[in-house]
Amino acid sequence: MPESTPSDPLSQLMQGMGIPETPEDMRKLLDGFAPMLNAGAPEVGAVHERVEVAGAGPGVSADVILPPSPHAEGPWPVLVYLHGGGWICGSPTTHAKLARRFAERGYLVFNIDYRLAPEHPFPAPLDDCVAAIRWAGQVAAEYGGDAARLAVGGDSAGGNLSAAAAVALADDPSVEIRAALLIYGVFDFAKLGDDEAISKLADQPELAAAGDQMIELMAGSYLGADRAAALLADPRVSPIHAASELPPSHVVCGTGDPLIAQARDLEAALREAGVEHEYVEIENMPHGFAQMEFFPQAQQAIDAMTSFLKKQLG
């Protein structure tokens, strides 16, 4: 076992609000956490909010974030960002600061507001993300972006969706994904909630006691209560089964995260498949740490991700 994971405000907030039992509880939890996550967001060039994503489901939109003036005028490389939230919560608002961090470094960012489960279960969120990546490639030039230098990235559920969408678009002539940022994601649903993952919560008893409950809340909402083996092995659900189809990928996770085994397994699959990748483990960091900038490791992780993007996209 690694050393104890540093105390983080998400755990503290859950102690105050109780363990989420419904998607609505999860949404209130993350929305309550958002002001802290977004405090001190960097200045950017402009934000076009709630731009309709053509070809996606009803109501799907994107916040389009332009780099600030220190960066030369475009065309800028493009990052399509898919937020986390267990497939049931989250939005461009909850991940506004993190998305701006990439714009701050010179990327045109499309922060996607895809549909959420359980109102819109699999494959609707993934279909929205696939459509949003295609759309971003089509309209990037209108915002000063270069669609020939396009990457996708996301955290947690967004990491899952980023990998699954990249696999789905691997042979699509309409868009080329040149890099992926896979931030503490779920890549193999069959192993979600296994003993190793739950054991990572041993020093957070308020989470450990409800680990199975929360996993079922999220996975059950997205995939349904009866999850057949064939569904769990579908690369659209568990993209580790098509790791060879992924673009050059940067995989990052904290060792205090219940999903660390998912990251390690994906790294092994990428290595076996000969896919160019970087793998970063950050000691003791909890799930969601890239948004928790009171940890200096958050900025270090963002630095590493943007360095990877620069190498892949120029």
156 is catalytic: yes
Q: Which of 61, 91, 120, 156 is catalytic?
A: 156
Measured between alpha carbons, how far is residue 259 from residues 63, 85, 97 in Å? 28, 14, 23
Q: At what angle do helices 124-139 and 157-168 cross, to 10 degrees?
A: 70
Tokens of 217: 């809340």
Tokens standing for residue 209: 């006691």
* Closest-CA residue to 313 (of 80, 94, 125, 91): 80
Q: Going by C-beta distance under 8 Å and a sequence separation of 6 or more, which residues neighbour residue 176?
A: 137, 148, 150
CB of 56 closer than 8 Å to CB of 131? yes
In the set 95, 120, 250, 287, the catalytic residue is 287
Query: Measured between alpha carbons, how far is 214 from 14 in angstroms, rounded to an integer?
Result: 12
* Residue of 120, 241, 257, 277 marked catalytic: 257
DSSP class of residue 244 equals G
Taking phi over 0 as left and psi of -120 to 50 as alpha, with beta for the rest, 144 belongs to left
Report the side by side order of strands in the sheet with 249-254.
Answer: 46-52, 61-66, 108-113, 76-82, 145-155, 177-183, 249-254, 277-282
CA dihedral angle for residue 268, residue 272, residue 278, residue 282, rounded to 10 degrees? 10
Residue type, 195: D
Query: Nearest CA to 160 among 226, 253, 256?
Result: 253
The answer to whether residue 287 is catalytic is: yes
Residues 6 or more apart whose Cβ sits within 8 Å of residue 206? 11, 14, 15, 19
- Bridge-based pairing state of the strands 108-113 and 76-82: parallel
- Residue 124 carries which side chain, given as an amino acid letter? A
Sequence letter at residue 7: S
Catalytic residues: 156, 257, 287
